[in-house]
Amino acid sequence: MLRTILTALTLFALWLLMSGIYKPLIVWMGVGSSVIAVYVVRRMDNAADTERLAVRLRPLTTIGYWFWLLIEIAKANWAVTKLILSPKMNLNRHLFKVPYTQKTDLGQTIFANSITLTPGTISVEVEEGDFLVHAVSYSGDDMDALSDMDRRVAAIESAGA
Amino acid sequence: MMGLIVEILSWILIVSGGAFTLIGAIGTLRFPDFWSRLHAASVSESAGMILLIFGMCLQAGPTLITVKLLIIGAFIIITGPTSTHAVASAALTSGETPESDEDTRKSQEGKS
Amino acid sequence: MFLVAAIALFISMALVLVRLYAGPTLYDRVLAVNSFGTLTVLFIAVLGFLNGRPDFLDIALLYALINFVGTIAILKFFRYRALGDVSQMPDTKGRK
């Protein structure tokens, strides 16, 4: 029940941020739409008996990880930009396996999305224990960089997960 | 003075963001096969998007517009890789296997 | 400055459309559509600033949502040849 109320309040806060018009009628419409949304979500929860996705991450480490990831994205972008603009494209395409050590689904998702977010590497398929990754200019360092990223993503999962 | 710095910074961010989207689009045309085109598309989706959004945030200042821009940015940063992965994995299951330059080079080196 | 970005985005969209037309595989086209959608979101946002009407951002946000769902829907359709509940369908992995 507490969870439902919190969801409704979060939705309403989001609505307030998006709307920007605070006349009584409009605000009541916002209240109504968030209540309807929560009702529909609850019905869907009852219909599909799937597990709830629990978000358990270390907040400070997560923020640090985002800054590190931004720098990585910048570096990778520069590498791919040089590749695109060079007159003779020296591609070294390769498909290889990267093992992951995250325990939760969320951790694995963050790792796979981080791989895809840095241009030059794309996670293609998820297998038991490792991702299939495609690189456009493969070199031996890629493996080290990805296992470094893997370690960092595993570090933002809290121990209780 | 402060306003001038913000103005110059947002100029740099927005123009370089536009340049990166252009580079990504050129890449999708120039690269030889589907698998390398994925990488080119993600250049305009990550670098171009982030730079443009931050540049516009600086222009908008601390208003609701900035919040909306950040929500759009967060949404694209989550869904962009997800749909790229979806395209890639759908291509792989349909039997579109990428050729590996690394393997061809190794086998050539082995022969010579 | 927004004019520069708008022109750059417009040219990129045109180039991506060329890729959409040229193909050659289905997945190239899906990729081009997805890329085009992201560029459109940014283009709408920039256009809003260019006209001094940042209300356009609502449209951009909506377009971002629809673009993602649309890409996934296209891929799902080409894999299963239907959009309904996958668990009730015969498993037809991949296209013929």
pLDDT digits over C45-61, tens only?
Answer: 889 888 888 778 888 88
- Has residue B63 got a pLDDT over 60? yes
Give chain C's end-to-end CA distance (angstroms, integer): 49
Residue C9 in contact with partner chain B when CB distance is under 8 A? yes
Are residues C1 and B83, on separate chains, in Cβ contact within 8 Å? no
Domain boundaries, chain B: 2-95
Neighbours of chain A (3+ CB pairs under 8 A): B
Residue A140 corresponds to which tokens in the numbers above?
Answer: 């031996």
Place of tokens 């050129």: B26
The confidence band for C66, taking pLDDT boundaries of 50, 70 and 90, is very high
Phi, psi of A95 (to 5 degrees): -110, 120
Interface of C with B in 27-86 (CB under 8 A): 27-28, 30-32, 34-35, 38-39, 41-42, 45-46, 49, 54, 57-58, 60-61, 64-65, 67-68, 71-72, 75, 78-79
C-alpha–C-alpha distance, residues A78 and A10, integer Å = 38
Number of domains in chain C: 1
Q: What is the 3-state secondary structure (H, E, C) of B15-33?
A: HHHHHHHHHHHHHHHHCCC
C-alpha–C-alpha distance, residues A128 and A155, integer Å = 21
Mean per-residue pLDDT for C25-37?
A: 89
Q: Which run of H or of E encompasses A54?
A: none
- Has residue C96 got a pLDDT over 50? no
Edge-to-edge strand list for the sheet holding A94-99: A94-99, A130-135, A121-127
C-alpha–C-alpha distance, residues B37 and A122, integer Å = 11
Measured over the CA atoms of residue A72, residue B6, residue A82 and residue A110, the dihedral's sign is positive
Which residue of B45, B82, B86 is in closest CB contact with C38?
Answer: B45
DSSP string, A71-85: HHHHHHHHHHHHHHH
Residues of B in contact with A92 (CB under 8 A): 101-102, 105
- Strand-pairing partners, residue C24, are none
Are residues B86 and C71, on separate chains, in Cβ contact within 8 Å? yes
Give chain A's end-to-end CA distance (angstroms, integer): 23
Q: What is the largest CA-CA distance in chain B?
A: 66
Residues of A in contact with B103 (CB under 8 A): 94
Residues of B in contact with C93 (CB under 8 A): 93
Which residue of B10, B52, B72 is in closest CB contact with C61?
Answer: B72
> What Rg, from alpha-carbon coordinates, does chain C have?
17
- Which domain does C26 fall in, by range? 2-82
Residue B94 in contact with partner chain C when CB distance is under 8 A? yes
Residues of B in contact with C32 (CB under 8 A): 28
In a domain, C88, yes or no: no
| A35 within 8 A of A8, measured Cβ to Cβ | yes
C-alpha–C-alpha distance, residues C96 and B53, integer Å = 41
Tell me the per-residue pLDDT of A63-110, one tens digit each, with 9 for 90 and over: 888 888 888 888 888 888 888 888 877 777 888 888 888 777 788 888
C-alpha–C-alpha distance, residues A131 and A6, integer Å = 36
Place of tokens 């110059």: B8
In a domain, C47, yes or no: yes
C-alpha–C-alpha distance, residues A67 and A8, integer Å = 31
- Has residue C93 got a pLDDT over 50? no
| C68 within 8 A of C33, measured Cβ to Cβ | no
Q: Calculate ∠ Cα A155-A55-A31, nearest 5°.
A: 150
Residues of A in contact with B54 (CB under 8 A): none
Between the alpha carbon of residue B29 and those of residues A26, A79, A120, C36, C58, the distances in Å are: 47, 18, 16, 13, 31
C-alpha–C-alpha distance, residues A137 and A107, integer Å = 26
- Has residue B112 got a pLDDT over 50? yes
Amino acid at A66: W
Residues of B in contact with C13 (CB under 8 A): 25
Mean per-residue pLDDT for A53-72?
A: 82
- Strand-pairing partners, residue A134, are A95, A122
The confidence band for A49, taking pLDDT boundaries of 50, 70 and 90, is low
Interface of B with A in 50-89 (CB under 8 A): 50, 64, 67-68, 71, 77-78, 80-82, 84-85, 88-89
Nearest by Cα to A150 from A115, A118, A123, A125? A115
- Surface-to-core class of residue C91, CB atoms within 10 Å of its CB (0-12 exposed, 13-18 middle, 19+ buried): exposed
